[in-house]
């Protein structure tokens, strides 16, 4: 191994370590990796005098941002928004209600729709659309949403494997085959013989067997009166002079409210929170942190004279007179609120909405609202004018969970929206126009027809993923330009020379799956694709089955909530713990490996 190869290997190991550590977001980690290789190239070339270094030339370091895979991923996200606006998805989900009466049919219908939608639009977007429907129908049937949401998320991931545009790894593998292997790019439905059958197998598993593997102690109780379980909401209250609780102990207050309100924190004058004694007396002017359903809190306040903490009350009064209401929103993986506090929310919304409470399932938040650092899956109770809440929820990537009737599109242009999308796919399939350009044409048509307003044009683009791809593509190229892929492939072949080819394909898939469970799936595909091709070239066989193994493995992240954005999105609403995912995910991944390897070798022979 020469100097350049050692540098690339060290940077990639460092990138994997930072991905797994999770302190910095994956796009920042990818840029760190890109910049490190550029600096290393300068040092090797200028300082060590090794001209013609095969690392990353500073002049071409940003070329990855113009790569077709990057543009295609962005275009797919924009088209997903247009299809949402047209009402296509809402029209489909309206038909789900009759299937909700039977539990198995309820899960199956949601999973099938999620898988089909995910094949043609971003799978996170498909899940976000179906999540409120799943919660609403579960509530109507008195069914725990925990039984519904994990199968739904897994089905969304599985559906992305069916087509080239269904998930970023497929787009990456398709363009990699054209640009690096020398063949034609995989077509729109080239993944379907394997991905479609694997998705079908996976959906059948999660709907018939998988949901039964969710630990019973993790099942969130079904709510009859509310769409979302609000028992973990935390808010701040004060005791005015006229409050009927004065003179009672905290334990007596909780008993008097029928245990509907739990007082778990006393707020001192300096703002610090301490755990109160249950025998302490309630005094006028005292402030407490309480855990309570907002509906119950309103009734308790009316009966006892208890009041919200002054800061909350004054902010609510400031927007009085408008169309004020309560709306629940969930913090998505792409939200700017992740890692931020209430102060950031206030600045971004110009104080036009009030944060009333925060719910974090399975983990009560023993802090004041101002000290809470938002996480993916947190549910926020916001108060304000409906227009303001909708506007800021969209700009901050917050998913509304408020109960609503499913409507048929904003623009009522379902037929024309579908026709444009089908035309773009046909142009790509028959090689009349490259996929990227055909999708850009579809986006222009959506804009001109008013289906995609300019304000929505860039709203759905997952910019951290775009930056990740643009930065990691040159890093992936350095793997090949330095010859490191050949070194790795040779080492793998030496270790597996007595093994049959199918087992090497399976091993590549398993390794890719393991990486995808802890780091971004697009980054996994970019690193593993050249290694897979290198192994194939060393063995003297077609690289296609190895590329397909990487595509399947990178798309299958079912063991952890951090492996895929769909898994992270349901963590809060489903009330799951970190260790709940592998119970359904591990047997699903084993089933996918067993089922997909024979399919890969059948449809993509060596």
Please indicate whether residue 152 or residue 232 has the higher confidence score (pLDDT). 152
- Please give the average per-residue pLDDT across 569-582, as a whole number: 76
Look up tokens 């970023």; give the residue: 168
Measured between alpha carbons, how far is residue 496 from residues 145, 150, 320, 490, 491 in Å?
Answer: 45, 37, 71, 10, 9
User: What is the distance between the terminal CA atoms of the chain, rounded to a whole angstrom?
Assistant: 29
Q: Running DSSP on this structure, what letter comes out for residue 325?
A: E
> Which phi and psi angles does 209 have, rounded to 5°?
-115, -45
- 51-67, pLDDT tens digit by residue? 555 677 788 888 888 87
What is the pLDDT confidence band of residue 45, given thresholds at 50, 70 and 90? confident
In this prediction, residue 311 carries a pLDDT of 62
Checking if the pLDDT of 319 tops 60, the result is no
Checking if the pLDDT of 433 tops 80, the result is yes
Q: Which percentage of the chain shows pLDDT scores above 90? A: 11
Checking if the pLDDT of 322 tops 50, the result is no
Mean pLDDT (the chain) is 79
What is the pLDDT confidence band of residue 235, given thresholds at 50, 70 and 90? confident
In this prediction, residue 294 carries a pLDDT of 63
User: Contact, 574 vs 145, CB < 8 A?
Assistant: yes
Q: Which of 153, 165, 242, 251 is nearest to 202 (CA)?
A: 153
What is the pLDDT confidence band of residue 478, given thresholds at 50, 70 and 90? confident
Instruction: List the domains of the chain with CATH numbers.
Output: 68-221+411-463 (no CATH), 228-306 (3.30.70.1450), 309-402 (3.30.70.1450)
Checking if the pLDDT of 148 tops 90, the result is no
- Lowest average pLDDT, out of 147-161, 209-223, 500-514, goes to 209-223
pTM (predicted TM-score): 0.67
Checking if the pLDDT of 217 tops 80, the result is no
- 68-123, pLDDT tens digit by residue? 778 877 887 788 778 777 766 666 666 766 777 788 888 898 899 889 988 887 77
Give the 3-state secondary structure of 142-175: CCCCHHHHHHHHHHHHHHCCCCCCCCHHHHHHHH
In this prediction, residue 199 carries a pLDDT of 93
In this prediction, residue 368 carries a pLDDT of 63
Checking if the pLDDT of 512 tops 50, the result is yes
Q: Find all residues with CB under 8 Å of 321, minimum gap 6, and list them.
A: none
- Please give the average per-residue pLDDT across 303-323, as a whole number: 60
In this prediction, residue 205 carries a pLDDT of 94
Which of the given ranges, 79-83, 318-322, 362-366, 424-428, has the highest pLDDT on average?
Answer: 424-428
- Lowest average pLDDT, out of 214-223, 263-272, 281-290, 535-544, goes to 214-223
Q: What is the CA radius of gyration of the chain?
A: 26
Q: Running DSSP on this structure, what letter comes out for residue 61?
A: T
């Amino acid at each position: 191994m020469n100097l350049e190869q050692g540098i690339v290997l060290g940077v990639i190991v460092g990138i994997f370590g930072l991905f797994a550590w999770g302190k910095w977001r994956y796009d920042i980690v990818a840029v760190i990796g890109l910049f490190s290789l550029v600096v290393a190239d300068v040092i090797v070339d200028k300082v060590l005098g090794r001209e013609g270094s095969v690392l990353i030339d500073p002049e071409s370091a940003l070329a990855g941002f113009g790569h077709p895979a990057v543009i295609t991923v962005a275009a797919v996200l924009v088209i997903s928004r247009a299809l949402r606006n047209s009402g296509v998805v809402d029209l489909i989900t309206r038909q789900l209600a009759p299937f909700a009466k039977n539990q198995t049919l309820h899960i199956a219908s949601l999973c099938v729709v999620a898988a089909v939608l995910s094949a043609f639009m971003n799978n996170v977007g498909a899940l976000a659309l179906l999540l409120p429907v799943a919660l609403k129908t579960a509530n109507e049937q008195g069914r725990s949403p925990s039984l519904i949401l994990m199968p739904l998320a897994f089905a969304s991931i599985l559906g992305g494997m069916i087509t080239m545009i269904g998930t970023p790894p497929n787009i990456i593998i398709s363009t990699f085959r054209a640009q690096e292997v020398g063949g034609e790019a995989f077509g729109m439905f080239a993944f379907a013989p394997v991905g479609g059958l694997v998705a079908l197998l996976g959906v059948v598993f999660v709907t018939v067997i998988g949901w039964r593997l969710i630990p019973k102690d993790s099942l969130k109780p079904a709510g009859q009166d509310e769409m979302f379980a609000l028992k973990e909401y935390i808010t701040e209250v004060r005791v005015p002079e006229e409050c009927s609780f004065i003179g009672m102990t905290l334990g007596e207050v909780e008993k008097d409210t029928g245990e509907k309100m739990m007082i778990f924190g006393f707020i001192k004058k300096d703002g610090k929170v301490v755990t109160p004694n249950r025998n302490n007396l309630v005094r006028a002017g005292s402030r407490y942190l309480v855990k309570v359903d907002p509906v119950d809190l309103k009734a308790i306040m009316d009966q006892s004279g208890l009041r919200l903490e002054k800061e909350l009350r004054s902010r609510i009064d400031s927007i009085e007179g408008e169309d004020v209401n309560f709306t629940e929103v969930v913090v998505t993986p792409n939200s700017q609120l992740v890692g931020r506090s209430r102060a950031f929310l206030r600045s971004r919304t110009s104080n036009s909405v009030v944060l009333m409470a925060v719910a974090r399932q399975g983990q009560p938040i023993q802090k004041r609202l101002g000290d809470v650092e938002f996480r993916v899956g947190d549910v926020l109770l916001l108060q304000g004018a409906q227009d303001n809440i909708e506007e800021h929820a969209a700009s901050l990537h917050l998913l509304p969970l408020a109960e609503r009737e499913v409507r048929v599109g904003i623009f009522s242009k379902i037929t024309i929206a579908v026709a444009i999308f089908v035309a773009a796919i046909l142009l790509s399939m028959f090689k009349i126009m490259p996929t990227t350009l055909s999708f850009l044409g579809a986006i222009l048509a959506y804009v001109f027809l008013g289906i995609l307003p300019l304000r929505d044009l860039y709203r759905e683009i997952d910019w951290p993923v775009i930056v990740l791809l643009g930065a990691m593509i040159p890093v992936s190229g350095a793997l090949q330009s330095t010859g490191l892929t050949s070194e790795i492939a040779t080492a793998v072949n030496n270790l597996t020379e007595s093994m049959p080819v199918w087992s090497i394909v399976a091993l590549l898939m398993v390794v890719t799956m393991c990486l995808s469970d802890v780091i971004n799936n697009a980054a996994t595909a970019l690193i593993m694709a050249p290694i897979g091709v290198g192994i194939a070239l060393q063995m003297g066989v077609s690289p296609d089955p190895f590329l397909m193994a990487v595509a399947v493995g990178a798309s299958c992240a079912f063991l952890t909530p951090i492996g895929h954005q769909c898994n992270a999105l349901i963590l809060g609403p489903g009330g799951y713990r970190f260790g709940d995912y592998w119970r359904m995910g591990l047997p699903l991944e084993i089933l996918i490996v067993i089922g997909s390897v024979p399919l890969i070798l059948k449809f993509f022979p060596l």
